[in-house]
Amino acid sequence: MAGAVFPWRSANQFELLIDGPAFFPRMLAAIDQAHAHIDLEFYLVEAGNCAETIVHALEHAARREVRVRCLFDGYGSLAFTSDLRRRLTEAGVELRFYNPLSWRRGLNNLYRDHRKLLLVDQQLAVVGGTGVTDEFWQPLGNTCDWHEVMVEIQGPLVQDWQMLFERQWRANISRKAWKPARHFGLVRLPRVPEKGEGMGRVAYADAHQHRDIVHSLVRAINSAKQNIWLATPYFLPTWSVRRSLRRAANRGVDVRLLLTGPRTDHPSVRYAGHRYYPRLLKSGVQIFEYQPRFLHLKMVLIDGWTSIGSCNFDHWNLRFNLEANLEAFDPALTQAVTASFIADFAQSQPISLQTWQSRPLWGRVKQRIWGWVDRLVVNYFGRR
């Protein structure tokens, strides 16, 4: 590992919150009840009703002398207007941006902070894959257009999330990814607990320097005995993940992929990922494309082990992005995640090898084009 690894912590409480109307009111309530500290780290932050509501709550918190710190990505927050930024700073909020775009930085502009987390009074964490945009939550009607999950965490694990934020907050001054000192944490992945409840750990990626988040996933897939259910909106997995999924299906594990259907914000990425379908289907992997809305959640369930957070486990994310996931071993959370997957599978279109081979010609053409573009880009950066 290029960086230190977080250990497993016990005696935590987890609650799965599905979609913006469930988790944004909880986040706002936590902000309103904060006494001392509020920290936010988000990638996508755009002006709109959702951002207006969050900014209003942060203003009030700062004016009652709560220390409020916001770390937003320099690219993902381009639509976060100067007026909203001014309101935060005038209220006393400390505002920083990760890697602001600059033509002088060239390819370094590709490095982004993709993490999503809220920390309150060092006692509560809300982590997952949401952004602060109207797609995730419309406050007026309490509705959402994008399907997403967050997890509310209480217990000793919150301190590790706090450490992850603190390190990046300080490192952001020099616009560099966090390189934790060796005296912190572990040097290798800890064993997954065989039993217990309230177990959790922080898994993270730091822009190709540290990737325990994907090493942990591959290890879990390789050791799976019953089921592997994985949801991601952008299906461009690394070779090691694809190979592990195929091998698991070949040995009889129930492997299911919950992927985005035609409703997506990046059709080109969806078509590029289609090139992986045939080999996976032939290996026995089941593929479901979610139909009602854009599926944006990133969630994995493997024999009771869960991983939920910001990471899509694609080669682009793992090369350029700061990512963070909650890994948990908790029966109550496992039950909630299982129920969420079952509900989503029921609203998805199953893809069989026969139907895939008979898809329209235009779909095949777009797969070829965008698959070729993706390979070209990946090979280019691989050589660099």
- Classify strands 321-329 and 305-309 as parallel, antiparallel or unpaired: antiparallel
- Do 139 and 253 lie in one domain? The reply is no
187 in a structural domain: no
| Residue 146 included in any domain | yes
Residue indicated by tokens 């997995």: 237
Per residue in 41-70, pLDDT tens? 999 999 999 999 999 999 999 999 999 999
Q: Give residue 384's pLDDT.
A: 47
- In a domain, residue 201? The reply is no
User: Is residue 189 assigned to a domain?
Assistant: no
- 173 and 247 together in one domain: no
Q: Answer whether residue 382 shows pLDDT above 70.
A: no
Domain boundary pick from 179, 200, 229: 179
**Are 297 and 254 within one domain?**
yes
The residue among 184 and 106 whose pLDDT is bigger is 106
Burial class (CB in 10 A: 0-12, 13-18, 19+), 1: middle
* Residues 161-174 pLDDT 10s: 999 999 999 988 76
Q: What percentage of residues in the chain have a pLDDT greater than 90?
A: 72
Residue 335 domain flag = yes
User: What span, in angstroms and rounded, lies between the C-alpha atoms of 322 and 211?
Assistant: 10
**Can you read off the two tokens belonging to residue 226?**
């019953």
* CATH code, domain with 359: 3.30.870.10
Residue 193 lies in a domain: no
- Residue 131 to residue 191: CA distance in whole angstroms: 32
- From the list 140, 124, 120, 144, the residue with the least C-alpha distance to 132 is 144
Is 383 domain-assigned?
yes
Range 88-126 burial, b when 16+ CB lie within 10 A, else e? beebbbebbbbbeeeeeeeeebebbbbbbbbbbeebbbb
Asked if the model's pLDDT at residue 137 lies above 80, the reply is yes
State whether 377 and 254 are in the same domain. Answer: yes
CA distance 67 to 84: 18
* Same domain membership, residue 149 and residue 109: yes
What is the pTM assigned to this prediction?
A: 0.94
Asked whether the predicted pLDDT for residue 255 surpasses 70, the reply is yes
- 254 and 377 fall within a common domain: yes
Please say if the pLDDT value at position 136 is more than 60. yes
Least confident of 93-102, 191-200, 218-227, 353-362: 353-362
Summarize pLDDT for 279-311 with one digit per residue, the tens.
Answer: 999 999 999 999 999 999 999 999 999 999 999
Domain ranges, residue 348: 211-317+327-384
Give the mean model confidence (pLDDT) for residues 91-101: 95
Same domain, 157 and 229: no
The tally of domains found in the chain comes to 2
